[in-house]
Amino acid sequence: MTERIVLAYSGGLDTSVAIGWIGEATGAEVIAVAVDVGQGGESLETIRQRALGCGAVEAYVADASDEFANEYCVPTLKANALYQGHYPLVSAISRPVIVKHLVKAAREFGATTVAHGCTGKGNDQVRFEVGIQTLGPDLKCIAPVRDLALTRDKAIAFAEEKGLPIETTKKNPYSIDQNVWGRAVETGYLEDIWNAPTKDIYDYTATPEFPPAPDEVTISFEAGVPVAIDGIKVTPLQAIKELNRRAGAQGVGRIDVVEDRLVGIKSREIYEAPGAMALITAHKHLEDITVEREQARFKATVGQRWAELVYDGQWFSPLKRSLDAFIEDTQKYVSGDIRMTLHGGQAIVNGRRSDTSLYDFSLATYDTGDTFDQSQAKGFIELWGMSAKVASGRDIRVAGQ
Ligand code: ARG
């Protein structure tokens, strides 16, 4: 029986050529799998037809947009996950959901191998392959760009020679990956890290220098999950989309960073994640009033580690799963409303309310109604500083000897 290979298919030039390229190099039949993670653009049916036109024996499309929002974006939000303090893991969280569907398709169509279009220099090859090893340990992986020398020039020549139904003339100097959680743009002119991004790079956000009138929005959460916007019930997917639109119009969520890739390279990336950044900001502010101090401090460390694991392709790892359990436990009381103003590239919180708040007005107030006993503070400070005071006494004594 002819061997079958499942290919993660985007509809673009590289993966379209990869269908025939893999076929010629291996003699296997190729099944193209396109996964909808809210990337927009062409319809999945158009993409499916193109895959068939390029020689795929089957083309399978999976609508994973709600699944992606509920099971991948929401946990990222609960973790307030920002890799290196900046990057909301846009591409990193899409790989595991794509992997799930690739493995499922491999089972359905009797494939032995999974293929993806990543190069050998990035994080995404690691995320795909570690994910596949975990969910389908018997499956093999190949990456035609990396393993079968499928360069850009060869891809264009191949497409033209075979008359594939794909445009080869459109020159986009950037490498772009996008989904409902955000958009990532790299390479080309951006590789000189002194070059500021030009306006044409952006798609999810308008230039914040010329914002429309401020937009005030109220986001309601239940146990860490966004459930309503301005009082109207929403699913997580709807919440992200609505905030992509509204925060995007105000230029919120543009990120320009040089980040540490897992493969050891520092690389420049431009992100835009208006919905994600507005939601993370709101969620963090709600945690500020609903999560107890020590739990909150520890959670910040956990969230950072969670982001590193997910960035590094460890979505399905035991440690990531254990951290999920901790994070989930902290979300029990993260319910309530956050009001914020979207304007001029910023999402600024200016109101919060919650039935499960730990904010106690009578403890906080400097006005009448104060129940905080200030006389207790003196003794508290005495004991709190005791250990450092004793050490400092020793330092002076030793220095004087
Ligand atoms: N650097 C990011 C990451 O590793 C995004 C990579 C996405 N690819 C792109 N073509 N911009 O998660």
183 classed as catalytic:
no
How much is the pLDDT for 173? 85
Q: Which of 243, 270, 87, 91 is nearest to 173 (CA)?
A: 270
Q: Write the class of the CATH domain 176-291+333-353.
A: alpha beta
CATH superfamily of 4-171: HUPs (3.40.50.620)
4-171 and 176-291+333-353: identical CATH topology: no
Binning pLDDT at 50, 70 and 90, where does residue 137 land? very high
209 pLDDT above the threshold of 90: no
14 classed as catalytic:
yes
65 classed as catalytic:
no
Determine the Cα angle at 337 with ends 205 and 321, to 5°.
Answer: 75
Pocket test residue of 127, 177, 312 for ligand 1, highest count of atoms within 8 A of CB: 177
198 pLDDT above the threshold of 90: yes
Give the C-alpha separation, 95 to 207, whole Å.
29
Residue 58 is inside which H or E element, if any?
strand 58-63
Residue whose CA lies nearest to ligand 1 atom number 6 = 91
Buried b (16+ CB within 10 A) or exposed e, 111-145: bebbbbbbeeebbbbbbbbbbbebbbeebebbbbb
Binning pLDDT at 50, 70 and 90, where does residue 172 land? confident
What number does the ligand 1 atom closest to the CA of 90 have? Answer: 12
Give the DSSP per-residue string, 353-375.
Answer: E-TT----HHHH-SSTT----TH
**Mean pLDDT (the chain, rounded):** 96
Torsion of CA 274, 275, 281, 282, to 10 degrees: 140
Binning pLDDT at 50, 70 and 90, where does residue 210 land? confident
What residues flank ligand 1, with Cβ below 6 Å? Answer: 91-92, 123, 175-177, 184-186, 269
Strands 113-115 and 140-142: parallel
Query: For the chain, which residues make up each domain, given as ranges?
Result: 4-171, 176-291+333-353, 369-399
Strands 4-8 and 113-115: parallel
**Mean local confidence (pLDDT), 131-158:** 95
Report the separation in Å between the CA atom of 175 and the middle of ligand 1, taken as the mean of its atom positions. 8
**Mean local confidence (pLDDT), 189-193:** 96
Report the separation in Å between the CA atom of 163 and the middle of ligand 1, taken as the mean of its atom positions. 30
252 pLDDT above the threshold of 90: yes
Contact 280, 86 (CB under 8 A): no
Report the separation in Å between the CA atom of 177 and the middle of ligand 1, taken as the mean of its atom positions. 7
Alpha helices in 291-373 (DSSP H): 293-311, 318-330, 361-364
Report the separation in Å between the CA atom of 271 and the middle of ligand 1, taken as the mean of its atom positions. 9
66 classed as catalytic:
no
Of the candidates 4, 10, 91, 124, the residue annotated as catalytic is: 124
CB-neighbour burial class of residue 78 (10 A; exposed 0-12, middle 13-18, buried 19+): buried
